[in-house]
Each structure stands twice: as structure tokens, then as C-alpha cells.
């Protein structure tokens, strides 16, 4: 049995309602959680950059190894060398934050440029860029990354450049698709006919109005990707090396002690990875539904 | 009068807009009937509910809540039933001040029942042709295949070769050129006019009792439109098929209909014999019908290059349905004597002449109905 | 006598049908002439109607004349200036004088911008008015197109078809054009709203001295609003003259069929239809391109002159500014 009720009084316009009233609850939860994660990451990054850590992350305290959380003085416990986990986790963010931003910036900016060229100019541009995109997509990202690491140095920034470049095709396709869609409605042609200069049409009408949601979402998802790549590489030993903490290498280092019954040194960073990536993914997903979903369903 | 082939009584089909949290009252109490062999033309603009009425009759309304009340009685020599039989059991309606404010409907249950009721009716008794011929045909199979499929499904002809001959026979009857060649054509290889003919052939090959034509000429070029209208007129004479014709194009309605129903805002505002309702100098007429006819440039208006008589305001969107007459806001014939009624009370459909009904407070017969 | 504002001579627009990489390399592209040698002129304060069925090229003419797409050959002279080969930069300042109303109601209406923002943007393309001036002009525009003030806060999705059309017209008026190409301005609208829009367009012409190129397949409306009408078939003008002559004394067989189809739709007598062939634009035609469907051709026993590959019937003067492209017209 489905129930349909007409709200009494006169019928209002959907789009005049504030966003939080129009949205589905689950999406709001996603976005809320995601924003929380972003805030924490940002704050922790700043703390780490400024050096305001609760303990020296390298200070070893052999007397207090593998301490459990809530041990006095160590809120999140210590690892197998007695180093404070909280400090190390905070510092670990340094490993992926700026590199991740680099990757995201590359893929968004370069992807947009390619997408606009392909969609706006069409013709040859479109064909070439499509072929190029397909080519890029066919390469297994991990292989490319390992290649880069082997040819140059195992610098996380180099790796992130690769991640950024391999993230371009998706964005380029989305934007080119959006433009193709707008083309169908004579939208772009009409803007030209009025006399609007090309840069206004592209920047204002296409990118800002129609693509900004898309780009923000891709940026959050891109960040999630970047974090995953960095932590995986560090776990495998190719990324950040000991004693500099990275969540990935923390998991790796604690692995030896896992089977001995000391779960925490490995689990803490693993949970951090999970919670953070999930946060970015859900943010992207939630924003997608809120901003790009069918209006006024 | 013969018992009508199709009798629609007080049909209500509503849709729900979650965005606006309100009902779209597409068909809001529509009654009409079509006598055997007759063509009833339903004319109206967007939002009038004419297409939804047709879809409701064919049981093709799938959006929620859909059909929520009324009777649709089909009385052909092969079938006699109310296509909405038992609907009350699945729908509960809450009214306030005479207006439906809440609907509870068991969608799944009603769907099952409706399908059972429409068994053997849809496609066989009631055939339908649609507005955009190319999109209504299966793009992946030839029109021959689709025709044969229809024939084998809905008629007593089951053999493959027989069905093919029958299919070609129908293609000839719709005056398609080179029927045997066209049999193997795909819809994308045919022009709009030919696709429409093919669709008509498909509908009629099932030998239905009722043909519903929903905007059959809209979207086609002018010259093709007149050919299709010619074809429909000829088929009407040849087969005597009962037709429910829906269009916003008054000239098409005028050419093909015996009787007409004018719809506005989800209700029928005028109904009667085509010649009577559309007569140029008719005295008694619904203001909307009059205004609609005047919107189309007449030869006189063109000659004098005069401005068209446009109706003020926007077409009624059936979400915000006013209290009184639905046309009141745009009506230019309101007099002081009836103003209060027009503003506050919806006029009933009253008989102003035998067979001619108008829903307007201006006509005394309406008041006594 | 008013000035000629638009003069089009022998306009041609070809579309190449891409058949893939190989044929492109070997130069075997098929060229389809959407507009095949069209000439006409338009005066200030005048409306020239362009009618024809789908595929005849009338929309392409509209877009080419405004240089929204480039012509393949021919000459377009706008207000004395030859604009056929001007670059985009040189065209920009001229664009404000020649605008287009698109068939699509949503064209030019960014779904994420409110009507107020849309109009504001249009007003600031060529000028830099102050905020007060902008507000004044917006009010003026709304009045000109008969829109309520409350619509300013709405998004295009919240507007009805007629309202969208009006916003589109207001947007175009904001740049103060002198020529407007109206491409099917009424087709997507309800009949009662069409009348409103037609009246509006005529009003605007009267008050602002606009020239219209009125492209439509709605013959009665074209006859009503136009002084001159050109009938197109497969990329060429087959007949052109005063609106009344075209409608009541058509000389080209196609024009006759067009107008009689209209009458046929309305008449209640049943006639036996003529056998019509299907035309394929892509098939190169020899001689008169209407011959395959021409009843006159059939009636006269298929005279050879009609299919003579050497010549297509030229537009001949039939008196009083009326031209016909038919050997027998």
C-alpha cells in the first residue's frame, strides 16, 4: 500500500526550498561524515606541519611498547617501539596530503582542458583526445607507477603525477559528455548568437554552472584514490620509508606483531585508512546525489 | 441509441509529484462514450488530460498513483467488461472540501488485477497508435516481423505463410508503396509517414474493436499529415472501425470525427456532434472552445492582417486546480450574473441541445442539469 | 521606402557526410547541399516568411545568414556590409544587430541561472550599464514581452513553454537587434499560447521597427505575419512572392500542394490520394528536383525538359515581384 498525500495549502516551488530540506537523509549523512573527515584531515595536516604534536613521533619508549589506547599519556597507545601512535598517525597525513592535492589538481585541471577542447571544438580534437584517453585508460596504473619508481626515484610526488595523469581521462570524458549534452539544446549556439565571447561561455556557463558539481565530486574521489595509492605503496615498501611514518608503512611494520596478539599497532593505522578513504568516497557520492541527482524527484 | 462500445465514467487518473508534494490531477472526473462505428475526437492542449485519458483506457498508465477511480466499460461483440472492475478494493481516497487530498493505493495488487482484466483486450480489442511512429516501432526488427507477430498473437491466423500474406494485405490497405519490399524494411529506413502507415497497419491487423489514435499526425510534415488523415478517413469508411482520436490539431479532428469532446484542465468542457461544436457561427459554445477556434488564423483574419484573438494567461497546470470553473481565470465571457458561480463552483456538464453538452454557467441548461 | 537590411545572394551550404577515415583520406566524401543557391533580401520593418518541410534547408539558411555556421559560397550583406567572410572577432560587434530566436525553447536559458541573471547577462554583453540602468531595462524588457515581475526569481525549469519563449525573446531584445531570425517560434507551444506569441512578435515589430526572417512550417501564421513568402524545397527556393499571391495564386506545383494539404486537412470530403514517391535528399537529382513528386510532371506526360540534367528550372519572373522555378509555372 502506498500513500500519497497532498500537502495542504498552496503548492510551493521545489527549487525555492533550502538544500537541506530537499535532500534525502542518507545523502546528508554521507556528506556530513565526509565533511567531518575532511575537516579532521585538514586540521591534522596543519598540526603535523606546524609540529604541534602531543609527543615526539620518533621518541621511543622501550618500556611502553604496544600499549593499548587510553594508556595515560598516550591517547591512542604506542607501537612496537613505544612511539606514540597518535603523533605518528597525525604525521602520517603529511605523506599523502600534499601529494594527493597535486594528483587531484593535475587530473582536474588537465582533464578539464582536454574535455573542453574535445567537447567545444569537436571534430579532430574530439577524435584525438578520445584515442588518447582510451590509451591512457588501458595502462594498468600500478605498472606505470612502478615503472616511474624504477626509472626515477621512489618519490611520492612523482607517483602522484602519474596518478594525476591517469585520472585525466575520466574527467575529460565527463566534461566532454556534458558539453555534448548542452550542445543538443542549442545552449552553446545561443550563447554565441547573443555575442558572448568564447571564454565567458566556457568558464562561466559550461564550467562554473554546469560542471562545478562534477569537478568537486571528481576531486574528492580523486583524493580517495590518491590516499589509497600512497598507503598501498608505503605498505609495499615503495613509498615513504621508516622511520618517517606513513599509514601504509605503519600497517606493514605492525604486521609482524599482529600474529603475536598485538593487534593495535597495525589496526590503528588500518582503521585510519579505512575511515578516511570512506569519508572521501561518501562525500563524493553524497554530493553527487545532492547536486547532480535528478532535481525535484 | 445503441449501447456505446466504450463508455468512460467519472475517470480519475492522478499522478504524484514528490517534488511539489502535490497531485497532478491529469484526468479529473472525465466521462465520455463512443458508439460503435463512430469516431470520437478529443481535442485539447497540453495538460488537458486527453492523452492520459486514452492511456488509461488502454491500461497503459504506469506512473503512481495512476488510475484511482471510475469505470471504463468496453462492450464489443467479443468482450464485455469493466476494465476498472474492482479498483475500489485497491484504492482509498480521502477528500476534504470535495477535493482529494490523500490517496492510498495497492499498486501491485491493482496491477495484477488490471493485467488480468486487460488480458485479451490490449492489442486485440483495443489497438493504439502513437505520436512518434519511429519510436513506437521496434528498431531492431523489420516491420514485416512485427506485423506477423501481431497477427499471430491476436487473430486466428497462426500459420507463418498465411500470416505473412495477411501482413502484406494490410500493408497494401494502408497504401504503402511496394508492400512486399517494405515488409523487409527496418523502421530507420523508412520515412516518418511510412512508419506511421506501418503502425496503423499493425494496429488494424489485429482486427480490434476500438482504435485509439494518440496524436497520429503530430510531428509529421504538412503534406504527409494530409495523406495520413486521408488514409484514416478511408480506413474508417472501409472498415467502419470505432475510433478514439486524440489531437491538438483542430483541423484533423474536424476532418475525421463524428463527435467531439473538448478537454481543458483534466475535464471535458464540451461534447457534441462535430458539425455542431465546430460550426463557425455556433451560438452556444463553451468559451474555451470558442477561444481555441479563434486562436487559429481564419482566412478573414489573414486577409485583414488582424491580430489573433489570443486567450490570456497560461494553460492550466493541473496541480493548482482552482475552486470554481477551471477556465474562469482566462475566460473573456464572464458576466456579472454568473461571476460568483464561476469563481466558486465548478459547473456541471449540462445539455444545451440534444447530444450537445457544455460545462459552463452561462448556459441555463447547465444550471438545471 | 525602407532600407534593405539583409541581402543574400546565391547562398550555398554544403554538409559533408563523413564516411569514416578511409574515404576521408581518399577524398571520397559525399557532399550534401543543404542550401543550394538561395537568394533573397529583407527590408527594415518587414517580415519575410520562409516555409518548407523538414529537410528543405530553411533552418540552415537562418543559421548561415547569421554566420552561426559558415556558408560554403555566396554572399551575405547585412546593412550594406559584406559579412560573408568576416572573422569571428570582426563579427562580434555586428552580432548585436542580428539575433536569432531558436526553435528550442530552452536555447540560451542556462538551467542553473534565474531569469533575472539571464537578462542581466544579456544586457551586459555589449554595454556596461549601471545597476540602476540594468534594473530599469529589465523592467522595460518584461513589459515588452508581457512577463510578470515574479518570474525573475524563477529558474527556466519552472517556467511554462510560453514563458520560456518570452524570456528567450526578452534576452534577444536586450541587445537591441534590428534583424531577428525567428526559427519556428511557435512550434513547441500550445495553440492558445501560439497566438499570444505571434501577436507579441508583431507588436514588437511595430514598436521597434524590427525585420524578421520568419521560418516556420505553420502556413496560416506565415501568411498572416509576412509581407513576402519564400517556399523552399530541398535546398532551393522554388517560389517567392507576396504572401497573398503565394497563398492564393501559387504557381509552383509544390506550393500548390503545400497549401492544398492544409485545406485538405480541414475538408470533409474523401479523395483518392496521389501516388507519391519517397524522396532521398542524397540522391543526386538531375534537372528539376521536384520532378519525382511533381503532379504536373505526371500530368504532362513526363516532359524531358523537367529531367534535363543540364538545367534546373531557374527562378523566372512571373510578374509583380513573384518568381517561380518551374518550366511550366
Q: Quick check: is A265 in a domain? A: yes
Taking alpha carbons only, the member of A268, A266, A246, A247 closest to residue A258 is A266
Q: Quick check: is C186 in a domain? A: yes
In the predicted structure, residue C198 carries a pLDDT above the cut 90: yes
Taking alpha carbons only, the member of B250, B170, B234 closest to residue C271 is B234
pLDDT for B310 equals 82
- CA angle in degrees (0–180, nearest 5) for A17-A19-A25: 115
Kindly state the percentage of chain C with pLDDT values over 90: 41
The DSSP letter of residue B87 is G
Q: Quick check: is A193 in a domain? A: yes
pLDDT for C205 equals 94
Q: Quick check: is C253 in a domain? A: yes
Q: Which domain holds residue C275?
A: 4-97+177-324
Q: What is the ipTM of this complex?
A: 0.81
- B19 chain-A contacts, CB cut-off 8 A: 14, 295-297
The most confident of the ranges A179-183, A230-234, B279-283 is: A230-234
As given in the structure block, the three cell numbers for residue A132 are: 588518447
Instruction: Report the b/e string of C22-58 with b at 16+ CB within 10 A.
Output: eeeeeeeeeeebbbbbbbbebbbbbbbbbbbbebbbb
Q: Quick check: is C171 in a domain? A: no
Q: How far apart are CA A136 and CA A174, in angstroms?
A: 15
Q: Quick check: is A9 in a domain? A: no
| Cβ-nearest to C107 among A15, A185, A196 | A185
- Interface contact C194-B295, CB threshold 8 A: yes
Show Cβ contacts of residue A220 under 8 Å, excluding neighbours closer than 6 positions.
Answer: A34, A280, A281, A283, A284, A287
In the predicted structure, residue A239 carries a pLDDT above the cut 90: no
Show Cβ contacts of residue B185 under 8 Å, excluding neighbours closer than 6 positions.
Answer: B142, B143, B144
Nearest CA in chain B to C203: B307
Q: Could you report the per-residue pLDDT of A185-227, keeping only the tens digit for each?
A: 788 888 888 988 888 888 888 888 788 888 988 999 999 989 9
Q: Could you report the per-residue pLDDT of A118-177, keeping only the tens digit for each?
A: 887 777 778 888 888 888 878 888 888 888 888 887 788 888 898 898 888 889 888 888
Q: Report the number of distinct structural domains present in chain A.
A: 1
Kindly report which listed range (A13-22, B226-235, C13-22) carries the lowest average pLDDT score: A13-22
pLDDT for B365 equals 61
Q: Which residues of chain B have pLDDT under 50?
A: 366, 368-369
Q: Could you report the per-residue pLDDT of B289-321, keeping only the tens digit for each?
A: 988 888 888 888 888 888 888 888 888 888 888
Sheet holding C228-233, edge to edge: C98-101, C179-183, C211-215, C47-51, C228-233, C236-242, C323-324, C316-317
Confidence of residue C278 (pLDDT cuts 50, 70, 90): very low
Total residue count of chain A as it appears in this document: 297
Q: How far apart are CA C213 and CA B72, in angstroms?
A: 49
Q: How far apart are CA C260 and CA C138, in angstroms?
A: 44
Q: How far apart are CA C192 and CA C211, in angstroms?
A: 25
The DSSP letter of residue C78 is E
Q: Could you report the per-residue pLDDT of C217-248, keeping only the tens digit for each?
A: 888 899 999 999 999 988 889 999 999 889 88
At A211, is the secondary structure helix, strand, or coil? helix
Confidence of residue C279 (pLDDT cuts 50, 70, 90): very low
Q: Report the number of distinct structural domains present in chain C.
A: 1
Mean pLDDT along residues C23-40: 72
Q: Could you report the per-residue pLDDT of C151-190, keeping only the tens digit for each?
A: 998 888 888 889 999 999 999 999 999 999 999 998 888 8
Contact residues, chain C to chain A, C-beta under 8 Å: 63, 66, 68, 92, 95-96, 99-100, 102-104, 106-110, 112-113, 121-122, 125-126, 153-155, 157-158, 171-172, 175
Q: Residue C78 burial (CB < 10 Å; 0-12/13-18/19+)?
A: buried
Average pLDDT taken over every residue of chain A? 82
Sheet holding C73-78, edge to edge: C30-43, C4-17, C73-78, C81-82
Q: Greater confidence, A197 or C273?
A: A197
Q: Greater confidence, C18 or A25?
A: A25
| CATH value at residue C239 | 3.40.50.300
Kindly report which listed range (A96-105, A112-121, C182-191, C303-312) carries the lowest average pLDDT score: C303-312
Q: Quick check: is C198 in a domain? A: yes
Q: Greater confidence, A11 or B270?
A: B270
Among B12, B22, B24, B67, which would you mutate to test the A interface (most chain A Cβ atoms within 10 Å of its Cβ)? B22
Q: Quick check: is C286 in a domain? A: yes
Q: CA–CA distance from C290 to each of A31, A107, B175, C56, C327 (Å)?
A: 63, 55, 22, 12, 11
Question: Residue A249: which H helix or E strand, with range?
Answer: helix A247-258
Q: CA–CA distance from A208 to each of A204, A212, C178, C295 (Å)?
A: 5, 5, 32, 56
Number of Cα atoms under 13 Å in the Cβ half of residue B300: 4
Among C265, C267, C292, C295, which would you mutate to test the B interface (most chain B Cβ atoms within 10 Å of its Cβ)? C265
Q: Quick check: is C71 in a domain? A: yes
At A82, is the secondary structure helix, strand, or coil? coil
Q: Quick check: is C264 in a domain? A: yes
Please tell me chain B's helix, strand, coil percentages from 3-state DSSP, rounded to the nearest 5: 35, 25, 40
* pTM for the structure as a whole: 0.82
Q: Quick check: is C83 in a domain? A: yes
Q: Could you report the per-residue pLDDT of C79-102, keeping only the tens digit for each?
A: 989 999 888 888 888 899 999 999
As given in the structure block, the three cell numbers for residue B298 are: 481564419
Q: Which domain holds residue A263?
A: 24-61+69-292
Q: Quick check: is A12 in a domain? A: no
Q: How far apart are CA B200 and CA B150, in angstroms?
A: 12
Q: Could you tell me if B14 and B23 are in contact, meaning their C-beta atoms sit under 8 angstroms apart?
A: yes
| CATH value at residue A112 | 1.10.3720.10
Q: Quick check: is A100 in a domain? A: yes
Interface check B329 vs C, CB under 8 A: no
Kindly report which listed range (A82-91, B271-280, C257-266) carries the lowest average pLDDT score: C257-266
Q: Quick check: is A261 in a domain? A: yes
Interface check B149 vs C, CB under 8 A: no
Mapping DSSP onto H, E and C, the string for B26-61 reads EEEEEEEEECCCCEEEEECCCCCCHHHHHHHHCCCC
Q: According to DSSP H, which parts of B2-132 are helical?
A: 50-57, 107-118
- Interface contact B314-C247, CB threshold 8 A: no
pLDDT for A19 equals 62
Instruction: Report the b/e string of B7-32 with b at 16+ CB within 10 A.
Output: bbbebbbbbbbebbebbbbbbbbbbb
pLDDT for C2 equals 78
pLDDT for A21 equals 62
| Cβ-nearest to A7 among B22, B64, B65 | B22
- Interface contact A3-B104, CB threshold 8 A: yes
- B308 chain-C contacts, CB cut-off 8 A: 195, 198-199, 224
Q: Say which residue the cell 542550401 belongs to.
A: C35
Mean pLDDT along residues C27-39: 75
Amino acid at each position: 500500500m502506498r500513500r500519497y498525500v497532498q500537502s495542504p495549502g498552496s503548492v510551493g516551488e521545489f527549487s525555492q526550498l533550502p538544500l537541506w530540506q530537499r535532500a534525502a537523509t542518507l545523502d546528508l549523512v554521507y556528506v556530513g561524515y565526509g565533511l567531518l573527515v575532511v575537516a579532521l584531515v585538514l586540521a591534522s595536516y596543519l598540526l603535523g606541519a606546524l609540529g604541534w604534536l602531543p609527543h615526539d613521533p620518533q621518541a621511543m619508549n622501550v618500556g611502553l611498547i604496544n600499549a593499548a589506547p587510553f594508556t595515560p599519556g598516550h591517547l591512542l597507545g604506542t607501537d612496537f617501539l613505544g612511539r606514540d601512535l597518535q603523533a605518528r598517525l597525525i604525521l602520517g597525513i603529511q605523506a599523502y596530503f600534499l601529494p594527493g592535492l597535486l594528483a587531484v589538481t593535475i587530473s582536474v585541471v588537465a582533464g578539464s582542458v582536454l574535455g573542453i577542447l574535445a567537447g567545444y571544438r569537436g571534430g579532430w580534437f574530439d577524435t584525438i583526445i578520445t584515442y588518447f584517453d582510451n590509451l591512457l585508460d588501458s595502462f594498468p596504473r600500478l605498472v606505470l607507477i612502478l615503472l616511474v619508481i624504477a626509472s626515477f626515484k621512489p618519490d611520492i610526488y612523482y607517483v602522484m603525477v602519474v596518478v594525476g595523469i591517469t585520472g585525466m581521462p575520466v574527467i575529460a570524458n565527463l566534461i566532454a559528455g556534458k558539453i555534448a549534452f548542452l550542445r543538443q539544446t542549442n545552449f552553446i549556439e545561443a550563447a554565441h548568437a547573443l555575442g558572448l565571447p568564447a571564454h565567458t561561455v566556457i568558464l562561466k556557463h559550461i564550467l562554473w554552472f554546469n560542471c562545478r558539481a562534477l569537478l568537486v565530486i571528481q576531486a574528492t574521489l580523486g583524493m580517495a584514490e590518491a590516499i589509497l595509492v600512497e598507503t598501498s605503496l608505503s605498505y609495499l615498501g615503495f613509498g615513504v620509508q621508516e622511520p618517517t611514518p606513513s599509514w601504509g608503512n605503519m600497517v606493514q611494520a605492525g604486521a609482524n606483531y599482529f600474529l603475536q596478539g598485538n593487534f593495535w599497532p597495525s589496526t590503528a593505522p588500518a582503521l585510519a585508512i579505512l575511515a578516511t578513504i570512506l569519508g572521501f568516497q561518501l562525500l563524493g557520492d553524497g554530493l553527487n546525489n545532492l547536486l547532480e541527482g535528478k532535481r525535484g524527484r | 441509441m445503441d449501447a456505446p462500445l466504450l463508455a468512460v465514467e467519472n475517470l480519475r487518473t492522478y499522478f504524484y509529484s514528490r517534488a511539489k508534494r502535490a497531485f497532478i490531477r491529469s484526468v479529473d472526473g472525465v466521462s465520455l462514450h463512443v458508439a460503435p462505428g463512430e469516431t470520437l475526437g478529443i481535442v485539447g492542449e497540453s495538460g488537458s488530460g486527453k492523452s492520459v485519458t486514452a492511456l488509461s483506457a488502454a491500461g497503459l498508465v504506469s506512473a503512481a498513483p495512476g488510475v484511482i477511480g471510475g469505470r471504463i466499460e468496453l462492450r464489443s461483440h467479443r468482450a464485455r467488461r469493466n476494465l476498472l472492475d474492482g479498483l475500489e478494493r485497491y484504492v482509498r481516497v480521502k477528500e476534504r472540501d470535495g477535493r482529494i487530498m490523500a490517496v492510498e493505493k495497492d499498486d501491485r495488487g491493482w496491477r495484477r488485477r488490471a493485467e488480468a482484466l486487460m488480458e485479451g483486450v490490449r492489442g486485440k480489442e483495443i489497438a493504439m497508435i502513437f505520436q512518434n511512429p519511429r519510436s513506437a516501432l521496434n528498431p531492431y526488427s523489420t516491420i514485416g516481423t512485427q506485423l506477423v507477430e501481431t497477427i499471430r498473437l491476436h487473430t486466428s491466423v497462426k500459420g507463418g505463410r498465411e500470416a505473412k500474406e495477411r501482413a502484406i494485405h494490410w500493408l497494401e490497405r494502408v497504401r504503402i508503396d511496394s508492400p512486399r519490399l517494405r515488409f523487409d524494411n527496418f523502421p530507420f529506413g523508412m520515412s516518418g509517414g511510412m512508419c506511421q502507415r506501418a503502425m496503423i497497419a499493425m494496429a488494424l491487423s489485429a482486427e480490434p474493436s476500438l482504435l485509439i489514435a494518440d496524436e497520429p499526425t503530430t510531428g509529421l510534415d504538412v503534406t504527409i499529415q494530409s495523406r495520413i488523415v486521408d488514409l484514416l478517413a478511408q480506413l474508417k469508411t472501409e472498415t467502419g472501425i470505432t475510433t478514439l482520436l486524440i489531437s491538438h490539431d483542430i483541423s484533423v479532428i474536424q476532418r475525421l470525427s463524428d463527435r467531439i469532446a473538448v478537454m481543458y484542465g483534466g475535464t471535458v468542457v464540451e461534447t457534441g456532434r462535430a458539425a455542431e461544436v465546430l460550426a463557425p457561427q455556433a451560438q452556444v459554445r463553451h468559451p474555451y472552445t470558442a477561444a481555441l477556434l479563434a486562436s487559429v488564423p481564419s482566412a478573414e483574419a489573414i486577409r485583414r492582417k488582424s491580430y489573433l484573438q489570443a486567450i490570456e494567461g497560461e494553460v492550466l497546470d493541473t496541480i493548482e486546480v482552482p475552486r470554481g470553473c477551471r477556465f474562469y481565470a482566462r475566460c473573456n465571457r464572464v458576466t456579472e450574473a454568473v461571476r460568483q458561480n464561476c469563481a466558486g463552483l465548478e459547473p456541471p456538464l449540462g445539455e444545451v441541445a440534444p447530444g450537445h453538452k457544455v460545462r459552463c454557467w452561462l448556459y441555463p441548461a447547465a444550471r438545471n442539469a | 521606402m525602407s532600407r534593405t537590411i539583409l541581402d543574400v545572394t546565391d547562398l550555398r551550404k554544403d554538409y559533408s557526410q563523413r564516411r569514416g577515415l578511409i574515404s576521408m583520406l581518399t577524398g571520397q566524401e559525399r557532399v550534401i547541399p543543404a542550401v543550394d543557391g538561395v537568394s533573397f533580401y529583407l527590408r527594415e520593418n518587414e517580415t519575410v516568411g520562409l516555409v518548407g518541410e523538414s529537410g528543405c534547408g530553411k533552418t540552415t539558411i537562418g543559421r548561415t545568414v547569421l554566420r552561426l555556421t559558415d556558408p560554403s559560397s555566396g554572399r551575405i550583406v547585412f546593412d550594406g556590409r559584406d559579412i560573408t567572410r568576416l572573422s569571428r572577432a570582426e563579427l562580434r560587434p555586428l552580432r548585436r544587430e542580428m539575433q536569432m530566436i531558436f526553435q528550442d525553447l530552452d536555447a540560451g536559458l542556462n538551467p542553473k541561472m534565474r531569469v533575472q541573471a539571464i537578462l542581466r547577462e544579456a544586457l551586459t554583453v555589449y554595454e556596461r550599464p549601471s545597476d540602476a540602468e540594468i534594473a530599469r531595462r529589465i523592467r522595460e524588457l518584461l513589459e515588452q514581452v508581457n512577463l510578470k515581475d515574479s518570474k525573475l526569481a524563477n529558474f527556466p525549469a519552472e517556467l511554462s513553454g510560453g514563458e520560456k519563449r518570452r524570456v528567450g525573446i526578452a534576452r534577444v531584445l536586450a541587445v537591441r537587434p534590428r534583424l531577428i531570425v525567428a526559427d519556428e517560434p511557435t512550434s513547441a507551444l500550445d495553440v492558445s499560447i501560439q497566438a499570444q506569441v505571434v501577436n507579441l512578435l508583431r507588436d514588437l515589430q511595430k514598436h521597434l521597427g524590427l525585420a524578421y526572417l520568419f521560418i516556420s512550417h505553420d502556413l496560416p501564421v506565415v501568411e498572416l505575419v509576412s509581407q513576402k513568402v519564400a517556399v523552399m524545397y530541398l535546398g532551393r527556393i522554388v517560389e517567392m512572392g507576396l504572401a497573398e499571391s503565394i497563398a492564393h495564386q501559387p504557381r509552383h506545383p509544390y506550393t500548390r500542394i503545400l497549401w492544398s494539404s492544409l485545406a485538405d486537412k480541414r475538408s470533409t470530403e474523401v479523395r483518392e490520394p496521389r501516388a507519391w514517391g519517397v524522396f532521398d535528399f542524397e540522391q543526386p537529382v538531375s534537372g528539376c528536383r521536384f520532378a519525382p513528386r511533381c503532379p504536373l510532371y505526371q500530368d504532362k506526360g513526363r516532359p524531358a525538359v523537367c529531367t534535363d540534367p543540364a538545367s534546373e528550372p531557374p527562378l523566372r519572373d512571373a510578374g509583380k515581384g513573384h518568381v517561380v522555378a518551374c518550366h511550366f509555372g
